[in-house]
């Protein structure tokens, strides 16, 4: 197996996990009960929120750090063709992907801080709702579901999580 084949094999290990978290982020309750905007930006923000919960779980275990890296690479691999599909030209795709990675990094920090403080609402309003708070019930729904996801992730063995099993 060549160098690049080994690199791809490592990234492929997280393909099922990435597919599972995208499926979780696309569940209708986020957009209906949680009032997340059903737009390109809203779907990106929801994927980033679920991805952040999973990455925070992976990063909490030293054995999961490589998988977290591969998961962020899967995110880039997914976003690149999505940008092209909506009409972003080849010369600008890299800049947009870089900006998206920066946004993901910011969200990871904000959600990490929110989890530590026991209150995700400020981070959700800023990052998921882009500064415009929805009604209290919608915000509470998203916070409750993301907290349940994050807590459920702690009960899953790392190998099962990497294989794509979400709570």
- Map residue 120 onto helix, strand or coil: coil
pLDDT value, residue 162: 95
125/81 Cα distance (integer angstroms) = 28
For the segment 28-84, what is each residue's pLDDT rounded down to a tens digit?
Answer: 999 999 999 998 889 889 999 999 999 999 999 999 999 998 988 888 777 655 555
For the segment 92-112, what is each residue's pLDDT rounded down to a tens digit?
Answer: 555 655 676 667 788 899 999
pTM for this one? 0.84
Q: How far is CA 18 from the centre of its chain?
A: 9
Which positions ≥6 away from 143 have C-beta within 8 Å? Answer: 120, 121, 124
Q: State whether the Cα torsion 32-144-106-9 is positive or negative.
A: negative
Q: Crossing angle, helix 136-154 and helix 90-117, to 10 degrees? A: 80
Q: How far is CA 1 from the centre of its chain?
A: 31
Q: State whether the Cα torsion 112-31-143-20 is positive or negative.
A: negative
Task: Decide: 127 and 100 in contact? Cβ < 8 Å.
Answer: no
> What are the CA-CA distances from residue 8 to residues 2, 4, 83 (Å)?
10, 6, 22
What band does 6 get if pLDDT is binned at 50, 70 and 90?
very low
DSSP single-letter state for residue 96: H
Give which of 9, 71, 82 is closest to 39, Cα–Cα. Answer: 82
For the segment 13-33, what is each residue's pLDDT rounded down to a tens digit?
Answer: 889 999 999 999 999 999 999
What band does 12 get if pLDDT is binned at 50, 70 and 90?
confident
Q: Residue 17 phi/psi, 5° resolution? A: -65, -45
């Amino acid at each position: 197996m060549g160098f690049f084949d080994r690199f791809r094999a490592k990234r492929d290990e997280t393909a099922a996990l990435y597919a599972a978290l995208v499926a979780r982020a696309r569940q209708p309750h986020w957009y209906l009960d949680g009032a997340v905007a059903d737009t390109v930006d809203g779907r990106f923000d929801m994927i980033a929120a679920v991805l952040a919960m999973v990455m925070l779980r992976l990063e909490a275990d030293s054995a999961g750090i490589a998988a977290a890296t591969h998961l962020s690479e899967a995110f880039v691999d997914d976003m690149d063709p999505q940008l092209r599909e909506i009409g972003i030209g080849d010369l600008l795709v890299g800049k947009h992907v870089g900006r998206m990675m920066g946004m993901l990094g910011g969200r990871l920090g904000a959600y990490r801080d929110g989890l530590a403080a026991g209150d995700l609402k400020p981070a959700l309003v800023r990052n998921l709702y882009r500064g415009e708070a929805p009604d209290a019930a919608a915000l509470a729904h998203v916070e409750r579901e993301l907290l349940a996801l994050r807590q459920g992730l702690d009960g899953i063995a790392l190998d099962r999580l990497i294989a794509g099993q979400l709570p």
